[in-house]
Amino acid sequence: MGKKSLYLIDAAAFCYRAYYALPGLATSFGQPTNAIYGFLNILNKIIKGKKPDYLAVCFDVSRDTFRQKKFAEYKIQRPPMPDGLGSQLPFIKQIIAAYGIKLFEKEGFEADDVIATLVEQAKNKDLSVVIVSSDKDILQLVDEHTQVLSPHKDQDVLYTSEKVAERFGVGPQAIADIIALAGDKVDNIPGAHGIGEKTATELIAAFGSLDKLLHNIDKLKQEKLKKIISENIEMIKLSRELAVLDNKVKLDFNLEELKPGEQNRNELVRIFKHLEFKKLLKELAAGEEGPADNPKAEVLESSRLKEMLKSDGELCLYGSSAQELFFCVKDKIFCLSNFDKTASDILSDPKVKKTGHDLKKTKVSLAKEGIRLEGLFFDTMLAAYLLNPSKPAYALADLALDYLGEASVDNPAGGKAVDLICRLKPKLEKELEEKTLEKLFRELEMPLEDVLAEMELAGIKLDTQVLKELSRDIEKKLIKLIEDIYGLSGTQFNINSPKQLREILFEKLKLPVIRRSKTGPSTDEEVLRKLSAQHKLPAMLVEYRQLTKLKNTYIDILPQLVDKKTGRLHTSFNQTATETGRLSSSNPNLQNIPIKTDIGKNIRRSIIASDNRSELLSCDYSQIELRILAHLSGDEDLTAAFKEDKDIHRHCASLIYGLEEKEITGQMRNTAKRVNFGIIYGLTSFGLSRDLDIPVAEAQQFIDAYFARYPKVKNYIQEQIKRAQKDGFVTTILGRRRYIPEIKNKNQGIRQFAERQAINTPIQGSASDLIKLAMLQIHSKLCAAKLKSKMILQVHDELVFDCPESELKPVAELVKERMENVMKLNVPIKVDIKKGKNWLEAEPVK
């Protein structure tokens, strides 16, 4: 049997190397991850490929080491560690600990010195030592027991004494001597100026060592070399002291502690999910031994379930169909032997409180089978979302990890799922109470699930003929546009290929490069719009992209999504998709249909009333976010403008430009409008200058003029940023929270983005609270009055209803009254109401 192996990883070198080799890797919330990912690749390669008996990872602690005391200029030219790298080191160390690997670091010493000491202490342990490093100076440690593995993408290099001699012409013991003569530019080791690595190697090879060379300078044949060395003897000796690694660092060396321990899988899943390492998560799942513990479900008759619920009116359930439902009552997990009327009655009984995960989805699925699910009481997905709306996902596996400490890469099912839901509920309930979110949860978000489920089931009528005609029109436009693009560029090329597009724009047409990406000059829409001022082709390319996107995303896709059974389009409304509380929709995403373009408007024409005797009622909040800004800031001028029902953008323009409102031009009003809405989103002078295509200084003048006229708005913005810095979160009118940890980030770009979130969230989130509350109350009143009208759409600040013509007037009055009075603000709330046979061609309701 061969010797046992000890692998020592030079973490410092690999973290730096990965940071610069993999630029741009970051999470969705801006945390850089390139160094973490690169280092992990090395670590996993060693663990899986080499299977070391013993393993340790070595780090630098700081730049201040004993070498600086010997030579103040040592490493002085190296810039400070970038913030982007520094922010990753804590994660790397957490991962090393979770891997069960020993970490070594020592104040005043570099990682190389720590490695040298561990090598020295391992010499009497009969071990084969492999140092994993790409640094040249570490090669001085190579001997018959010690090798250096230098990982490379194509092929790793293993340095033995023979390999070092082959590569450098001298043995490992002479590496420090070569550095002493030639110096090291990276570490700012001076050496003897005028002697390079090749000459240094030849001299050491000829004389055997640096000491012998210095004792025999007179034997040098070249006078120039003789002079350089004679005049730099002290600097050469100092350089060798800097190059030689210290192998006497005081470390607690216990070989048993260097055995790779058992991985803390839960902790690794937690970290990898936070860092959004999907590939590594999958690898963890693939390496999991055996199936997760899955509680066995007892099979019961529905009559037995009914009996159990007499003493406990709460039921936990999970499943996507009646035949696949699993239940939990009083910690007992079971499924039904057959689904009958008794079971259906239990589900439709509102007195039986239902707990589940994504209950809206369950309600919609069961409704398609003719089964009503009532009594929605507690949804673990919604509760987790309210507690932290910034999480990337709210799957059961995520919540089990966060609140129960149980790791599972794939989502659990059946008995395991319902067991998790039952155990999650009390923990989530407690935290909702602690964070004063229970009322928002109970009185707004939970009841809203019922409303959204009804909207999804109602669906939307679509005029597919309108879309077919629109598709044909766009096809003709695209054919003509492609011909024109080829004609202007003088050649045919793949318009969808950024590489070919770059060749046409920047090589053939010689247009200026506006911005560069990783792969070359950028050809994104912003760049093309700027280039449009210099050539017709970029504007055509913008139009081509817009038409293609609309055709492929909506016009050709919407008809395919119509349910064959119902003849309706059934979009899904998402309660947990935005950090501000706004609803979103998917499959299809109706929130993103453009309204400013003619084609976008025509897509709205295809959304029609359910029959000839019905009409669509569109009810849209007027400038609700600006009204909420006036309410939250308490600014007297802004409040007065809304109370007097002024054109808010024209009024703002008159203040900014110092003119009477009647003197304000359309361009001035548009500028004020951009400033007004920009303020809500934490507008900067740079952003406004780009938006209006004006100099930054001029944009700043507009912003300064705005704040001079609305001083309390500026105070509000500053207070929100301070509040976020102090509390770590901001709140809406109804107490909805958004945590903004990045507001203290050292990276200026990440921090400024967080500040904009702190400004915008209370405004946009409060608008969300308001429209959600209106939806609840309107739905309740429609049901109480037994009206046939249905709420079918919510898009931003707009609600759309499908109404029989006979109900149009009472529904319009009901909706307007509730939307405008659902919440009392310091300014009036205004709703614009229109009616029409389709969503586009609507006229005001009088």
pLDDT tens digits, 4-43 = 999 999 988 888 888 888 887 888 777 889 999 999 999 9
Pairing of strands 798-804, 831-836: unpaired
Q: What angle do CA 6, 8, 10 make, to 5 degrees?
A: 170
pLDDT of residue 614: 96
**Is the predicted pLDDT of residue 267 greater than 70, yes or no?**
yes
Q: State how far the Cα of 587 lies from the Cα of 192, in Å rounded to an integer.
A: 70
**Is the predicted pLDDT of residue 197 greater than 90, yes or no?**
no
Q: Which of 118, 110, 96, 168 is nearest to 139 (CA)?
A: 168
Sequence-ordered list of residues with C-beta below 8 angstroms from that of 541, at least 6 positions apart, any chain: 485, 495, 501, 523, 528
418-457: pLDDT as tens digits: 999 999 999 999 999 999 999 999 999 999 999 999 999 9
pLDDT of residue 75: 47
Are the CB atoms for 412 and 400 separated by under 8 Å? Answer: yes
pLDDT of residue 1: 46
Percent of the chain residues topping a pLDDT of 70: 95
Amino acid (1-letter code) at residue 154: D
pLDDT of residue 20: 83
Q: Which of 686, 682, 684 is nearest to 730 (CA)?
A: 682
Q: Which of 189, 191, 190, 214 is nearest to 203 (CA)?
A: 214
Q: State how far the Cα of 709 lies from the Cα of 720, in Å rounded to an integer.
A: 20
3-state secondary structure of 625: helix
Q: Which of 688, 675, 760, 660 is nearest to 717 (CA)?
A: 760
Sequence-ordered list of residues with C-beta below 8 angstroms from that of 604, at least 6 positions apart, any chain: 593, 595, 838, 839, 840
Specify burial of residue 831 (Cβ count, 10 A radius: 0-12, 13-18, 19+). buried
Specify burial of residue 798 (Cβ count, 10 A radius: 0-12, 13-18, 19+). middle
Q: Which range has the top average pLDDT, 188-192, 310-314, 667-671?
A: 667-671
Are the CB atoms for 606 and 462 separated by under 8 Å? Answer: yes
What is the band of 729 on the pLDDT scale with cuts at 50, 70, 90?
very high
Are the CB atoms for 415 and 326 separated by under 8 Å? Answer: yes
pLDDT of residue 186: 62
DSSP 359-419: HHHHHHHHHTTT-----EEEEHHHHHHHH-TT-S---HHHHHHHHH----SSPP-HHHHHH
pTM confidence score: 0.76
pLDDT of residue 61: 75
- Residue 102 has φ and ψ, to the nearest 5°, of -70, 135
Cα separations (Å) of 839 from 189, 558, 714? Answer: 74, 15, 38
In 275-375, where do the E strands start and end? 298-300, 314-318, 326-329, 332-336, 353-356
What is the band of 518 on the pLDDT scale with cuts at 50, 70, 90?
low
Cβ neighbours around 88 below 10 Å, total: 25
In 732-830, where do the E strands start and end? 737-739, 790-795, 798-804
What is the band of 735 on the pLDDT scale with cuts at 50, 70, 90?
very high
Specify burial of residue 341 (Cβ count, 10 A radius: 0-12, 13-18, 19+). exposed
44-67: pLDDT as tens digits: 999 988 999 999 999 887 655 555
Cα separations (Å) of 589 from 558, 617, 630, 792? Answer: 10, 20, 31, 14
Please give the structure tokens belonging to residue 14.
Answer: 């690999």
Are the CB atoms for 771 and 794 separated by under 8 Å? Answer: yes
pLDDT of residue 7: 94
Q: Which of 267, 278, 561 is nearest to 395 (CA)?
A: 278
Amino acid (1-letter code) at residue 408: S
3-state secondary structure of 730: strand
**Is the predicted pLDDT of residue 470 greater than 50, yes or no?**
yes
Q: Which of the 8 DSSP states describes residue 799?
A: E
Please give the structure tokens belonging to residue 159.
Answer: 């340095």
pLDDT of residue 600: 82
Q: Which of the 8 DSSP states describes residue 562?
A: B
Q: Which range has the top average pLDDT, 59-73, 147-161, 356-370, 507-521?
A: 356-370
Average pLDDT, the chain: 88
Percent of the chain residues topping a pLDDT of 90: 50
Q: State how far the Cα of 207 lies from the Cα of 174, in Å rounded to an integer.
A: 11
pLDDT of residue 65: 55
- Residue 144 has φ and ψ, to the nearest 5°, of -65, -20
Q: State how far the Cα of 11 lies from the Cα of 4, in Å rounded to an integer.
A: 22
- Residue 328 has φ and ψ, to the nearest 5°, of -145, 125
Are the CB atoms for 357 and 380 separated by under 8 Å? Answer: yes
Are the CB atoms for 799 and 775 separated by under 8 Å? Answer: yes
Read off the pLDDT of each residue in 750-768 and give the average, rounded to a whole number.
Answer: 92
Q: State how far the Cα of 706 lies from the Cα of 701, in Å rounded to an integer.
A: 9
Cα separations (Å) of 402 from 379, 424, 698? Answer: 16, 10, 48
**Is the predicted pLDDT of residue 216 greater than 80, yes or no?**
no
Amino acid (1-letter code) at residue 48: K
Q: State how far the Cα of 45 lies from the Cα of 50, in Å rounded to an integer.
A: 8
Q: State how far the Cα of 642 lies from the Cα of 260, in Å rounded to an integer.
A: 68
Cα separations (Å) of 143 from 171, 172, 775? Answer: 9, 7, 76
Contacts within 8 Å (CB) and 24+ apart, 357-363: 357/318, 357/381, 357/396, 357/399, 357/417, 357/421, 359/449, 360/449, 360/452, 360/453, 360/456, 360/573, 360/575, 361/320, 362/317, 362/318, 362/319, 362/320, 363/449, 363/450, 363/453
Read off the pLDDT of each residue in 682-709 and give the average, rounded to a whole number.
Answer: 85
Read off the pLDDT of each residue in 335-360 and give the average, rounded to a whole number.
Answer: 94
pLDDT of residue 63: 57
DSSP 367-382: HTTT-----EEEEHHH
Domains detected in the chain: 4-164+246-258 (3.40.50.1010), 298-449 (3.30.420.10), 461-569+577-589 (1.20.1060.10), 609-635+711-846 (3.30.70.370), 646-675+683-709 (no CATH)
794-829: pLDDT as tens digits: 999 999 999 999 999 999 999 999 999 999 999 999
Cβ neighbours around 481 below 10 Å, total: 18
**Is the predicted pLDDT of residue 610 greater than 60, yes or no?**
yes
What is the band of 290 on the pLDDT scale with cuts at 50, 70, 90?
very low
Q: State how far the Cα of 120 lies from the Cα of 145, in Å rounded to an integer.
A: 10
Q: Name the CA radius of gyration of the chain, rounded.
A: 34
**Is the predicted pLDDT of residue 719 greater than 50, yes or no?**
yes
**Is the predicted pLDDT of residue 76 greater than 60, yes or no?**
no
pLDDT of residue 291: 42
pLDDT of residue 80: 65
Cα of first residue to Cα of last residue in the chain, in angstroms, is 94
